Amino acid sequence: MKVVLDHLTKIYPPRNKKDGGFVTAVNDFCFEIPDGKLIGLLGPSGCGKSTTLNLISGLETPTSGRIFFGKDDVTELPPENRGVGLVFQNYALYPHMTVMQNITFPLENLKGADKLSKEQMEEKALEAAKMVQIEKLMDRKPSQMSGGQQQRVAIARALVKRPRVLLLDEPLSNLDARLRLQTREEIRRIQKETGITTIFVTHDQEEAMSITDMIVVMEAGSVRQIGHPQEVYEDPKNLFVAKFLGTPAINVFEGRISGGKLYIGDDAVMDAPAPDQEVWIGIRPEGFIPAADGPLRCRLRGVEVMGRDTSIISENDHCQSDTIRSIISSEIRVDRNSPEVRFAVKPNRTYVFEKESTERIYFGWETPYSPNEDAPSCAGSGEAAAQAGAGPTKATEA
Amino acid sequence: MLEKNNRKAWLYLLPAMLFLGAFMVYPLVDVFVYSFEEGYNFASQSFFGTGLYNYRYVLRDPYFMQAVKNTFILVIITVPLSTGIALLISLGLNSIKKLKELYQTVFFLPYVTNTLAVGLVFMILFKKTAYSDGLINLLINFFGGSSVDFIDGPYWAKMFVMCFYTIWVVMPFKILILTSALASVNEDYYKAAKVDGTAPFRIFTKITLPMISPMIFYLVITGFIGAFKAYSDVVAIFGTDLNAAGMNTIVGYVYDMLYGNSGGYPSFASAAALILFAIVLTITCINLLVSANSDNF
Ligand SMILES: Nc1ncnc2c1ncn2[C@@H]1O[C@H](COP(=O)(O)OP(=O)(O)O)[C@@H](O)[C@H]1O
Ligand SMILES: [Mg+2]
């Protein structure tokens, strides 16, 4: 089911007299989610991800804007008539019910012609349980299961009514690292098997990059960039997105463009055919090339060799953070005892942003991102995207 | 090492154990012994013989049987009713978010108000004086009924006042416990239920009620124990001669046997106290069994 968010806005009134003003939790959200895709909704805590999800599920009503499932305008529909499944961070399984009772609970609410017999319900529940591989645990209580198993039950409960749209609100946040990896693959597999349009909320960029077809990066209620995960990583449209994606994080410098050159301090690191101005410069860790005559001079603080990669830790007065972390191939040797390390930078891993607006400055040589396989572009039609099948699911490593 | 730690632990516990022993265990044992000693006399420290005589006497005493009847009526009426009403009020409070804090204070007032002040309120409500028949009677009159003497009148009227009073007094505590129990149910359960189109009544019976059931059990058990121990409230309303008023309770009977008009019979008092103990113990065990067998998470 294609989901269209049309200028969706949610403004909360002040909670009480003391805490002052209105909160714009979601600001003019426009997005057409193609059918059958897994969409990552990514952003820091408090940026409006849950609110967006609640608007789609119908738990909240938008202040303005409309929501469509396919061709149906569902903006005024109550949650139960929308056909959505919801999964929460804390699973929200009913603790006094067994797994079976938890999964059949949504079915028991069906009325009239949809009403099911007990056998039908249990059959459907078992089917959903098989999908998440918990069919052997049907008689357990939630407290007798691990977090990962509980989250699977929650997913089965959300799937049992065959929703048109599946909404997951930080489903992995309560799991430990190992289970998180495992469960996210599981979610990806289930989503592919069922082909249900899925929106996956997370504040963990790695999670979003690894399993989604497309990510939406949000900041303070507004969408900052939408695109294929690798596209958003390689071609950030603004400083926020550049900083939010990537581990280790991007290195941000204060710099300027002067006479067609890009300067960090007194070092002209690359050509920059743009008007003279103060700028932010973001260089990905893999964007540094150690070179004896490299233009960017930094004080060397340490070298960490870890198998394939070497991390060079260095300092520069114009860097926003205390240290610069650059990652290079282990095959390149670095003199650990030298007080200074010099770098050349890769132009396609170096991004320049306007000082005030923090929007990206393009120089004209950037090649637009082109996915290896057909991945939907955010402006593309849902139909074409649906045909395209699954896009690449793994963000290629940095 | 462990041995030594153990000994140390007992040493630390010793003062508390001595205190408990002297003021709780010893009197309990004493009461147990008294209850089997026929005609024990405080002054001469003498008794005629041992046996079940005291129990036989107490169980045949019409005043005691009246007290048992009163106590049971009180327990059976007030515990479910007060818990049920408290639950209704708490549900109401929980749904009106804005007024919650204000109402919580209002409902909690009786809990912190002096017993005498509470008694005064009941006087105004129910007591017939030279000047007025009491507020409730004014109301009854207004709707065309004739006045009832709630304090010295018919048994059912007095029972009504007693139940009313008991419910009213325990209400704030129960509301406080239940509102916080309701508020502590995670919002996500309701969201999940709403997305699944669960009807409000089903949400209440299938989600809310099971989630707060531990607190309800707690209230029922403490409610039973509290109501079985009723005494001072009854005195506050009906005066000290409860046997004459026909409103005595088991604890009242024990007290009367020790110090009241018919006072000076510690053996009978002890026997009555142990009978009460047996009743409360049985009921609490049944309660615990029931709660252990029902939904445990
Ligand atoms: N019911 C509400 N009333 C008022 N403000 C709210 C409410 N729910 C969320 N907010 C505010 O809206 C903003 C977005 O919240 P939320 O969508 O929960 O963020 P996220 O899920 O991205 O962490 C936050 O500033 C939050 O304080
Ligand atoms: Mg959230």
> Is the minimum CB–CB distance between B201 and chain A shorter than 8 Å?
no
pLDDT-based confidence at residue A314 (cuts at 50, 70, 90): very high
d(CA B116, CA B113): 8
pLDDT tens readout for residues A89-147: 899 999 999 999 999 999 988 887 778 888 989 999 999 999 888 889 999 999 999 88
| Percent of chain B surpassing pLDDT 90 | 23
d(CA A295, CA A262): 11
Asked whether residue A336 carries a pLDDT value surpassing 90, the answer given is no
Q: What integer is the mean pLDDT of B87-94?
A: 88
Q: Are A41 and A222 in contact, with CB atoms under 8 Å apart?
A: no
How many other CB atoms sit within 10 Å of the CB of residue A346?
14
Q: What integer is the mean pLDDT of B78-95?
A: 91
- Using a 10 angstrom Cβ sphere, with 0-12 exposed, 13-18 middle and 19 or more buried, the burial of residue A307 is exposed
> Is the minimum CB–CB distance between A171 and chain B shorter than 8 Å?
no
d(CA A248, CA B150): 80
Q: Which amino acids bring their CB within 6 angstroms of ligand 1?
A: A 12, 15, 23, 25, 43, 45-51
From the alpha carbon of A14, which atom of ligand 1 is closest?
A: 4
Asked whether residue A392 carries a pLDDT value surpassing 50, the answer given is no
Q: What pLDDT was estimated at residue B141?
A: 82
Q: What integer is the mean pLDDT of B40-66?
A: 82
Asked whether residue A388 carries a pLDDT value surpassing 50, the answer given is no
d(CA B103, CA B96): 10
Angle at A39 (CA atoms; ends A246, A225), nearest 5 degrees: 55
What's chain A's length in residues?
A: 398
Complex-level ipTM beyond the 0.95 threshold: no
Q: Are A86 and A197 in contact, with CB atoms under 8 Å apart?
A: no
Asked whether residue A381 carries a pLDDT value surpassing 70, the answer given is no
Q: What pLDDT was estimated at residue B110?
A: 65
Domain ranges in chain B are 1-34, 66-118+148-296
Nearest Cα of chain A lies from the Cα of B90 at a distance, in angstroms, of 22
- Residue A296 β-bridge partners: A343
Kindly list the protein residues that place their beta carbon closer than 5 angstroms to ligand 2, a single-atom ion: A 50
Name the closest-CA residue to atom 24, ligand 1: A46
Asked whether residue A222 carries a pLDDT value surpassing 70, the answer given is yes
Of A56-65, A111-120, B234-243, B248-257, which has the strongest mean pLDDT?
A56-65
Nearest to B239 by CA among B156, B124, B140, B158: B158
Asked whether residue B37 carries a pLDDT value surpassing 90, the answer given is no
Q: What integer is the mean pLDDT of A166-189?
A: 90
- Residue A31 β-bridge partners: A5
pLDDT tens readout for residues B215-242: 998 999 899 888 888 887 788 777 777 7
Q: What pLDDT was estimated at residue B92?
A: 86
From the alpha carbon of A12, which atom of ligand 1 is closest?
A: 4
Nearest to A312 by CA among A331, A285, A337: A285
pLDDT tens readout for residues A153-166: 999 999 998 999 99
Asked whether residue B198 carries a pLDDT value surpassing 50, the answer given is yes
Nearest to B249 by CA among B271, B283, B272: B272
d(CA B80, CA A279): 72
Asked whether residue B145 carries a pLDDT value surpassing 50, the answer given is yes
- Residue A253 β-bridge partners: A281, A319
Check B189 against A81: CB less than 8 A apart: no
Q: What pLDDT was estimated at residue B43?
A: 67
> Is the minimum CB–CB distance between A79 and chain B shorter than 8 Å?
yes
Q: What is the CATH number of domain B66-118+148-296?
A: 1.10.3720.10
Q: What integer is the mean pLDDT of B65-91?
A: 93
Non-local (6+) Cβ contacts of A133 within 8 A are A152, A186
DSSP string covering A185-234, please? HHHHHHHHHH--EEEEEES-HHHHHHH-SEEEEEETTEEEEEE-HHHHHH
Q: What pLDDT was estimated at residue B104?
A: 63
pLDDT tens readout for residues A7-36: 999 999 887 666 668 889 999 999 999 999
d(CA A351, CA A361): 8
> Residue B40 corresponds to which tokens in the numbers above?
């024990």
Gyration radius of chain A over CA positions: 24
> Residue B51 corresponds to which tokens in the numbers above?
């046996």
Name the closest-CA residue to atom 10, ligand 1: A25
Q: What integer is the mean pLDDT of B111-125?
A: 72
d(CA A297, CA A301): 13
Least confident of A165-169, B128-132, B249-253: B128-132
